[in-house]
Amino acid sequence: MRIQFVCLPLLVLSAALLSAALLSKHVSIKSRYDKFKKQHIYKEMTANMCDEVMRERKINPIKTKKCKKINTFIKADEQTVRSICVSEGEPYGNMTKSRQGFDVVVCIRKTKKGIMRIPFACLLLFSATVLSQDARITLRYRKFIEQHVNGRMSENRCDSVIGSRRISKTNSNECKETNTFIQATTNHIKAICEQAGEPYGDMTKSLQPFPIIVCTLKNQQGRLPNCQYRGQARTRRIAIKCEQGFPVHFERDIIHFEN
């Protein structure tokens, strides 16, 4: 009987410690998840909302008032993003990558000396005059994604997607004659610049074919937002321009390889 009375408090103490540890872990994960949502999920995000949203959500590097250099917002609802961890993702090293593509908005800081002197006054501009080379490549990568990547694209969505993304001829509102969307994730396309591609002149071509949607303009001389397109689904190997491991240019709308 004495042993039972001695062990009972120990068992209770052990159970209490275990519960506290599990609770602490749960709180820690929830806290990190809440931070992830705040920094990276916003279904209604647009490119011209960077300044406003970054200030409103107080998104800055940890324990500092410096402006964060780059922040990416996923344009999807919370449940859709969470599903990547359950049924809509696949292993990617010690991470999980989505099976489908997502629309994203990448906010890039632009300052003269790298740090703003006014606390929290982050300038996040999508400009071709970003000062650092890495930022310029990031900007071109974002433009590439905006113009050519959509895992959920279909033949009958050309008008709506091109209109919402405001894809047009360079530096004008004239309708672009042809635009191709790659039906894949950004990670799959980025892999072409690494192990999933091979040299093709000064370009890199994919080792495997990709499903694509080719949008061809129907109303010539049209201007945004009244561009009308005919969509066609095809499967092709693609050729892209890579810089520092990132795709920054789609060589042409249709690349056909014999092999």
Residue 128 in any domain: the answer is: no
Amino acid present at 158: C
Computed on alpha carbons and rounded to an integer, the radius of gyration of the chain in Å comes to: 24
Per the domain annotation, does 4 fall within a domain?
A: no
Domain that holds residue 77: 33-110
CA dihedral 133, 135, 138, 143 (to 10 degrees): -100
Residues 172 and 254 in one domain: yes
* Structure-block tokens of residue 64: 């500092």
Per the annotation, the verdict on 26 as an active-site residue is: no
166 phi/psi in degrees, rounded to 5: 50, 50
pLDDT tens digit at each of 259 positions of the chain: 443 444 445 444 455 555 555 555 556 787 888 888 888 998 888 888 888 888 888 887 766 667 888 889 998 888 888 888 877 777 766 678 787 778 888 888 775 444 333 233 333 333 333 334 467 888 899 999 999 999 999 999 999 999 999 999 988 889 999 999 999 999 899 999 999 999 988 999 999 999 999 999 999 888 988 999 999 999 999 999 999 899 999 875 444 544 4
Among 48, 79, 110, the domain-final residue is 110
Residue 100 within any structural domain of the chain: yes
Distance of alpha carbon 244 from alpha carbon 196, whole angstroms: 15
Q: What single letter denotes the amino acid at residue 140?
A: R
Flag whether 87 is in a domain: yes
For residue 101, give the CATH number of its domain.
3.10.130.10
Task: Examine the residue annotation and report whether 256 is marked as an active-site residue of this protein.
Answer: no
Number of domain units in the chain: 2
Given 26, 40, 188, 249, the catalytic residue: 249
pTM for the model: 0.50
E-strand spans in the chain? Answer: 70-74, 89-92, 95-98, 104-108, 178-182, 197-200, 203-206, 210-217, 229-236, 239-243, 246-250
